[in-house]
Every structure is written in structure tokens, then in C-alpha cells.
Structure 1
Amino acid sequence: MSYLFTKFNLASPRWPVFSRILAATFGGYALATASSLFISQLLLNVVGKYQAIHIGLMLTFIVYACAAMWVFSVESASKAWMGLIKLTIFFTITTWLLMQFTGANS
């Protein structure tokens, strides 16, 4: 492990910033996608199918921007990653449960 610290200089303050950039980019994208599916599934019975998808996709931009800002406001990069992973899993499971109980799989 000490070889990695000397080889890649993992003690440098650049690595947490790089990790946050990756979290904002990829983790934010995953969270935005999961929240879009959740919002679309939630609104499916209220409005039409295409309107629900459209509203979900439009709100995705807000979720993605907020996730990117939140990643850089948290104390550490690991808390940012864990927060994004937990929210993504929550939205994914909740979307699946909504699909199972409402019977709307298409």
C-alpha cells in the first residue's frame, strides 16, 4: 500500500478533488437517471405516459445540478460517494416497488 502512496502520490490533495469530480459526473448521472424513472413512474397514473416521461426528464436536470453542487459541499469525498449511492439505490428500489404494485411495467 505504501508503494501506491509513493507511486501515485495518493496523499496529494488533488485526489479527493478528482474523486469529487468523478462523483459529480458519474454518480450525479446515475442519481438523475434513477430519479427520472422514479418521477415518471410516480406520475404515470396522474398524467399520461408521455407527459410523465417528459416531466421526469425535465426534472432530471435540476436533480443532476443539485447533486453536482452537493458533492462539493460535503465534508469528504467518501461521504459524497456514499450519499449518491444510497440515494440511487433508494430511487431504484422505490421505482421497482411502484412498478410492481401499480402494475404499470410499460
Structure 2
Amino acid sequence: MPSDVEKDIQTLRRFVEIYCRGRHKEAEKSVYMGVELCSQCRETLEYASRRRELCPLDPKPACKKCKIHCYDPQHRERIREVMRYSGLHLITRGRLDLILHYWL
């Protein structure tokens, strides 16, 4: 069974993958952690994963509610953008799946 850290990193990976696929369609990509990412998104995922691994809090709160801000301002804004875009994508996709379920 995956640990909380592993689950959080899997979630980060999924969110960054959705963001990169939607926002960086034309960028050159390479495989990292099992997903195709551009260099900018790869760096974002590396940074966020490392921060999660080093988090001293247990249980870990949501980053926006945390009293220790371990992300530098540039990365904090970047991960917010990734989460906002990917979260909306998943909500929209989920609702479409639900609507199709009722119509079919």
C-alpha cells in the first residue's frame, strides 16, 4: 500500500501531466516518472516532489493552509497555476462523464 507521500507525489504527477498536455502541446517532451513532460513541467514536478518528500509535518496539511511555506515564491505561483488548471479540467471532465452516464 502506498504511503501518504507516494500518494501525494502521484497526485502531483497527474496534475502536472494534465497541465503540460493542455498548456504545452507544442513543446518538446521527454518521459519522466512515467509521463511525457516538457522541461519546465519536469522541473516543476521535480521541485514539488522533493518538497513533499522533505515536509517535516505529519500529518501534512494542504500547502495553502500550512504555516511553513517551503516553496519559493516563483514555484508557489507555478504550482498554484498547475493546480488551478488541472483541477478545473478534472471537475469539467467528471461532470461530463456523469452527464453521459445519465443520457446513455
Does the alignment reach a TM-score above 0.5? no
More helix by share: 1
Give me the TM-score of the superposition, normalised by structure 1.
0.41
Where is the strand percentage greater, Structure 1 or Structure 2? 2
The structure showing larger relative contact order (alpha-carbon pairs under 8 Å, at least 6 residues apart) is: 1
Which of structures 1 and 2 has the bigger CA Rg?
1
Structure 2 length normalisation: TM-score?
Answer: 0.42
